[in-house]
Amino acid sequence: MSLWQSLARFLDPSGGVKSDPFVLGSREESSANEAEELGPTQLSDAQLRTASVLTHIDNLLDAQDEGAESLEQAGDLSCDLDENLERLKKLFRMPENKDLVMRELVIATQPPTRAVALFMEGLSDKNVINSAVLEPLMLLAHLDHHVGSEGEHGPTAFSVDTLLKRLITSNQTTKKYDMKTIADSLLYGDTVLLFEGSKVALAMETKGFPVRSVTTPQVERVIQGPQDAFVESFRFNVALCRKRLKDPRMVTEILTVGELSKTYVAMMYLDGIANPDLIAEVRRRVNAVKTDIVGSAGVLEQFIEDSPSALLPGMLTTERPDRAVAYLSEGNVCLVVDGTPFVLVCPVTFWGLLQTSEDYYLRAPFGTLIRFLRLAALAIALLVPAFYIAIVNYHPEMIPTELLLFAASSRESVPMPAVMELLSMDIAFELIREAGIRIPSVIGPSIGLVSSLILGQAAVEAKLVSPLLILIVAITGLASFAVPHYMSGFGIRSLRFLFVMAATLLGFYGLAAALFILVVHMSAMRSFGVPYLAPAAPARGGLTDMLVRPPMFDMELRPAYTRPLKDRRQKEIVRTWDPHVPPSGEGDDPH
Amino acid sequence: MKAMEGQIGLLQGTLLVYAVLAAKLFVQYPGFLIDSAGPAAWQTALIMTGAAMLLFMPTAMLAKRFPRQSLASIAVEVTGPILGRVLTLLVGLWLFAAATITVRAFTETFIISILPTTPPSMLTLAILLCIVYASWRGFEPLCRANQVLFPMLIVAIILVLLFSLPRADINRLFPIWGKGIDQTLISGLLFSSMAAEALILPVLGYAFADPDTLRNSGLTGILLFGVSATATVAVLITIFGAPDAAEQSFPMFNLARLVYLGRFLQRIESLVVMFWFFAAAVRLSALFHAGIVILTQTLNLPWYRPLLYPAALLIGTVSLFPKDFVTVLRLDQYWLRPFGIGLMLVPLLLLLVARIRRKGGEAHAAQA
């Protein structure tokens, strides 16, 4: 580009552009183009479906004389390997799509059999494919001899059952009869074998996704307790639970959600303890999810919870296997969503959101103490800013004289009304919090620290806010992080703004009205049929383990609100060796 | 509609009756009792409790005869569609009237105590929002909310009474018979209508698991209210003396103002009044919801929620009609309470007619 051209382009950047920039859907001829582009695709899909239906009908006709089992097994696979491959190629949009790998091979049977191994690049473990599928078929098949009818040894004739039983060493192998299940298997990471002359395919379990290894919890940290957390693989997560709950009654049902994502959801429960109605309801709700993608537990949660628009969560998410297992043992149902390092627990009560695993790992008095501390944190996070506004605006008589004078003098030079002052600092605090999460982890903490210090100090020095208010915002922010459940923290912060508005309008009266509405709202909420405020309201099964954490040996019964089939988890007297306990009262066997 | 109400247990029923009745102790009612019987007002409260429990018995018997049925359906079954509807409409109107007077009384309390410059209409609007929301949610969530808020209410009452005790002078309870035994007895019987609001239980009878739960809820709630009223009146008299206490519109608020917990924590009445709001909101929501249920059933409507907004607007507007608080007090003392006694006789009337016409009981069970 000459100097002159560069200058001309600098002066008129649009001068060198030959046509308008691309804007999707803006061209007049776009509809015609779309029709042209869609035509072959739709035609190809229709041809594929027609071929599939016709082959299925042929197979049904062939199988009608061979009994019910053959009829059930009649799929849409053809005996012609090339035809099957062609249909698969069309289904997977080959050759544009490069993910599907097709490995042709000849199995050393008598006579030799042509076959193709298919797998998805990146989803399958190639070492397993080599050792459990290709090696046996290509190298070992000719070594395998069967005893013929005349007592002579000879090479094995081709039979899918023979391959399955004698050659393929993969630990999980299933027969497939139609294209749809074959495609599903491939997409889940299996390797599929198609054979010349056979209407049956074999799918071998060869999953090999890249998976993060088990690490420490990021959100629910504890000092004294297990330090492993769930990861993105649902199988790992199920295993993490099962290794803690060595009971054959623990059931893991595999459900699939998402028309496109086909996400595995493992529904775990303890058969014989979890209420069957609860299990059926969870299953019903998960099966009812019909959408393209369920990429995370948070998405599934929104589809199945009772009040998705409520500010407080209707399900518990946990990244701790020990916590999930504890809930399972109490009769709850856990949902493990593939690709999410969090497990959903249903049902949950409001009080459950204020508890952590550590409550149980500490001795009872300390467990109780930190629960009350958390309750106080909840009250502070929710009410202190609104109290401040109510007192400053409507009820200054409540403040002791010295404090009143100090507050008045510190606010003397602040031009904004108290509520604006509070909201601006609260929003600044939320900004720091949000930015702290998004900023790269290397500089995140420094930015958070610097911004909070500088913002607070600068705001006070600029006389935009009073020092008292900085103190209130800081205490409130600190308290909101003491609420253990992440989603509850969001809810409480949102409610705090509403409460501030109510207190601004009508002081304590407005605050009381807002609180009343919140309590009524929470009283009306349910989580999978369980009242949200149980066991406080309705009072069912006592208030044990709601706020006060009783000693472990006194927690004899499972929570009544989940209506477990067996309510006793341990005998009435566990410390039988203790001279202070009465000698009798063995109680029923909880198991 | 029945499907939305859930099921009410003994504890929830008892606490609801108690909250609905005890909320009155924060406004003018202790003053009424002391005005009528002087230093013997605590005896009036005891007699009132006994009489109210007796008057509630026909309701319990009626509920036993017609288990899991609402007052409206019982009245129609026993006395026919016209008279039955008229009777239940009378009950509904009384409940709405009680709600209206309560709205105004509490609005005045809050204006005098903590929000002197706020227009009454704003306060009325806020409390109406609360009761409409609670009623919209239904009876079961209201009972549960009351169960959660109840400890705050009871703690607020007990703390105020306890912290006031150092100023108490037992001699103010004398003369022990007050204005005379006859006066004490008569006013006790007349004030038995203070428990007329317990009629919300048969109105929502279908929400109770069984008739015994309804009976026990009503009787226990009235008893607890009687105990609270007796203690409140006794403490008020020993602190202010009968003549002073009788003249106070909000004696409990004045009691709270006297509480002094040290130099740092003073003038806590604003905080205490906040807890009284919960009591007012529960009382109003329960009365309002019961009135709405009666209206829905009387008009044979399939769903109650469309009635909430017009009814709330009506209550809010009418509550602002009286020109001053004295008029409200007079309306309450001379109209609402006497009608309340008549109202408590409605279940008795229905019970007698049901027996004469052989409705309900075994016949009802056989029909079912």
Q: Is A513 on the interface with B (CB under 8 A)?
A: yes
Q: How is residue A120 annotated by DSSP? A: E
Residue A113 has pLDDT above 90, yes or no: no
Is the backbone peptide bond immediately before A531 cis, with ω within 30 degrees of 0?
Answer: no
Residue A399 has pLDDT above 60, yes or no: yes
**What are the C-alpha distances in Å from A408 to residues A286, A402, A457, A473, B35?**
57, 10, 19, 18, 44
- CA nearest to A557, candidates A541, A573, A574, A546: A541
Q: What pLDDT is attached to residue B225?
A: 92
The residues facing A269 across adjacent strands are A251
**Encoding tokens for residue B58?**
């026909």
CA-CA-CA-CA dihedral for A231, A232, A238, A241, to nearest 10: 20
The residues facing B336 across adjacent strands are none
Whether B27 contacts B254, CB under 8 Å: no
When pLDDT is averaged across residues A557-581 and rounded to a whole number, the result is: 87
Please provide the DSSP assignment of A472-483 as one string.
HHHHHHHHHHHS
Whether B51 contacts B337, CB under 8 Å: no
Please provide the DSSP assignment of A242-293 as one string.
HTT---TTEEEEEEEE-TTT-EEEEEEEETTTS-HHHHHHHHHHHHT---S-
- CA nearest to A433, candidates A468, A477, A395, A402: A477
Cβ-nearest to B263 among A400, A509, A512: A400
Question: Which residues of chain A does B19 touch, with a Cβ-Cβ cutoff of 8 Å?
Answer: none
Cα nearest neighbour of A402 on chain B: B264
Cα nearest neighbour of A534 on chain B: B144
Question: Which residues of chain A does B110 touch, with a Cβ-Cβ cutoff of 8 Å?
Answer: 509
Q: Distance from B47 to chain A by nearest Cα, in Å?
A: 32
Whether A244 contacts A347, CB under 8 Å: no
Cβ of A509 within 8 Å of Cβ of B123? The answer is yes
Whether B130 contacts B205, CB under 8 Å: no
Whether B38 contacts B302, CB under 8 Å: no
Q: Is A335 on the interface with B (CB under 8 A)?
A: no
pTM, full prediction: 0.86
Question: Which residues of chain A does B126 touch, with a Cβ-Cβ cutoff of 8 Å?
Answer: 505-506, 509-510, 513
Whether A377 contacts A490, CB under 8 Å: no
pLDDT-derived band at A464 (thresholds 50, 70, 90) equals confident
pLDDT-derived band at B294 (thresholds 50, 70, 90) equals very high
Average pLDDT of chain B, as a whole number: 87
In the block, residue with structure tokens 């090999």: A208
Cβ-nearest to B141 among A394, A510, A520: A520
**A292: Cα separation from own chain's centroid:** 16
Query: Can you tell me the distance from the alpha carbon of B135 to that of B132, in angstroms, rounded to the nearest whole number?
Result: 5
Cα nearest neighbour of A391 on chain B: B270
Cβ of B123 within 8 Å of Cβ of A515? The answer is no
Cα nearest neighbour of A538 on chain B: B144
pLDDT-derived band at A582 (thresholds 50, 70, 90) equals confident
Question: Which residues of chain B does A499 touch, with a Cβ-Cβ cutoff of 8 Å?
Answer: none
Query: Residues 133..172 of B with a Cβ closer than 8 Å to A: which?
Result: 133-134, 137-138, 140-145, 147-149
Q: Is B231 on the interface with A (CB under 8 A)?
A: no
A-B Cβ pairs (cutoff 8 Å, strict): 111
Q: What are phi and psi of A78, to 5 degrees?
A: -95, 160
Question: Which residues of chain B does A400 touch, with a Cβ-Cβ cutoff of 8 Å?
Answer: 263-266
pLDDT-derived band at A151 (thresholds 50, 70, 90) equals very low
pLDDT-derived band at A15 (thresholds 50, 70, 90) equals low
pLDDT-derived band at A152 (thresholds 50, 70, 90) equals very low
Query: Which of A306, A392, A519 best probes binding to B when mutated, by most B CB atoms within 10 angstroms?
Result: A519
How do residues A180-204 score in pLDDT, each as one tens digit? 999 999 998 999 999 988 889 999 9
Question: Which residues of chain A does B129 touch, with a Cβ-Cβ cutoff of 8 Å?
Answer: 513, 517
Cβ of A523 within 8 Å of Cβ of B141? The answer is yes
Cβ of B129 within 8 Å of Cβ of A512? The answer is no
CB-CB neighbours of B353 under 10 Å: 16
The residues facing A147 across adjacent strands are A153
Q: Is A316 on the interface with B (CB under 8 A)?
A: no
3-state secondary structure of A87: helix
Cβ of A509 within 8 Å of Cβ of B114? The answer is yes
Query: Can you tell me the distance from the alpha carbon of A422 to that of A386, in angstroms, rounded to the nearest whole number?
Result: 9
Of B2-11, B104-113, B301-310, B339-348, minimum mean pLDDT range: B2-11
Question: How many Cα neighbours within 13 Å face the side chain of A394?
Answer: 28
Cβ of A537 within 8 Å of Cβ of B144? The answer is yes
3-state secondary structure of B104: helix
Cα nearest neighbour of B151 on chain A: A536
Cβ-nearest to B278 among A400, A507, A512: A512
Of A35-49, A164-178, A502-516, B335-349, minimum mean pLDDT range: A35-49
Between residues B145 and A458, which one has the greater pLDDT?
B145
Average pLDDT of chain A, as a whole number: 86
Question: Which residues of chain B does A522 touch, with a Cβ-Cβ cutoff of 8 Å?
Answer: 145, 148
Q: Is A552 on the interface with B (CB under 8 A)?
A: no
Query: Can you tell me the distance from the alpha carbon of B273 to that of A509, in angstroms, rounded to the nearest whole number?
Result: 8
Q: What pLDDT is attached to residue A206?
A: 92
How do residues B170-213 score in pLDDT, each as one tens digit? 888 888 887 888 888 988 888 888 888 898 999 988 888 888 99
Question: Which residues of chain A does B118 touch, with a Cβ-Cβ cutoff of 8 Å?
Answer: 506, 509
Whether B275 contacts B156, CB under 8 Å: yes
Alpha-carbon torsion (A21, A26, A31, A34), positive or negative: positive
Cβ-nearest to B115 among A397, A507, A521: A507
Query: Residues 532..551 of A with a Cβ closer than 8 Å to B: which?
Result: 533, 536-539
Whether A153 contacts A145, CB under 8 Å: yes
Cβ of A509 within 8 Å of Cβ of B110? The answer is yes
pLDDT-derived band at A150 (thresholds 50, 70, 90) equals very low
Q: What pLDDT is attached to residue B266?
A: 64
Of A204-213, B40-49, B58-67, B261-270, minimum mean pLDDT range: B261-270
pLDDT-derived band at A13 (thresholds 50, 70, 90) equals low
Cβ of B142 within 8 Å of Cβ of A398? The answer is no
Q: Is A512 on the interface with B (CB under 8 A)?
A: yes
Question: Which residues of chain A does B141 touch, with a Cβ-Cβ cutoff of 8 Å?
Answer: 520, 523-524
Q: How many helices (H) and strands (E) does chain B have?
A: 18, 0
Q: What pLDDT is attached to residue B90?
A: 93
Q: Distance from A267 to chain B by nearest Cα, in Å?
A: 29
Cβ of B126 within 8 Å of Cβ of A507? The answer is no
**Encoding tokens for residue A426?**
């609260």
Question: Which residues of chain B does A538 touch, with a Cβ-Cβ cutoff of 8 Å?
Answer: 9, 11-12, 144, 147
Whether B307 contacts B136, CB under 8 Å: no
Cβ of A509 within 8 Å of Cβ of B274? The answer is yes
Cβ of A523 within 8 Å of Cβ of B144? The answer is yes
Question: Which residues of chain B does A509 touch, with a Cβ-Cβ cutoff of 8 Å?
Answer: 110, 114-115, 118, 123, 126, 274, 277
Please provide the DSSP assignment of B115-136 as one string.
-TTS-HHHHHHHHHHHHHHHHH
Cβ of A516 within 8 Å of Cβ of B264? The answer is no
Is the backbone peptide bond immediately before A538 cis, with ω within 30 degrees of 0?
Answer: yes
Q: Distance from B273 to chain A by nearest Cα, in Å?
A: 8
pLDDT-derived band at A18 (thresholds 50, 70, 90) equals low
3-state secondary structure of A101: strand
Q: Is B12 on the interface with A (CB under 8 A)?
A: yes
Whether A71 contacts A177, CB under 8 Å: no
Question: Which residues of chain A does B263 touch, with a Cβ-Cβ cutoff of 8 Å?
Answer: 400
Residues 6+ apart with CB under 8 A from A4: none
CB-CB neighbours of A501 under 10 Å: 16
